[in-house]
Amino acid sequence: MPHRTVTIASSVGLHARPASVFAREVAATGVPVRIARPGGAPVDAASLLLVMGLALQHGEPVEIAAEGDGADAALDRLAEVLATDLDATA
């Protein structure tokens, strides 16, 4: 299963707005995506509540993984989203 490790760039972590943007991007990929802290239990990245429940902070590394056709392209796009300060783009 393809995966990427990315550092959370949003200045206040993946709180409501950045988590919402990320979850929408995940849903738009059309492939199953999981997100977790390194070594942690992965959750469905398309679920806003599950993503927010991770309480990921600015500068924290996170692992994303996907499976199926288009998984690598989806992960590249999602890594780009996480590496962007989504609070600065509001």
Question: Would you give the distance in Å from CA 63 to the centre of its chain?
Answer: 8
For the question of residue 58 being annotated catalytic, the response is no
Write down the catalytic residue from 15, 37, 58, 77.
Answer: 15
Q: Cα–Cα distance between 34 and 3 in angstroms, integer?
A: 9
Task: Say if residues 23 and 48 touch (Cβ distance below 8 Å).
Answer: yes
Catalytic residues: 15
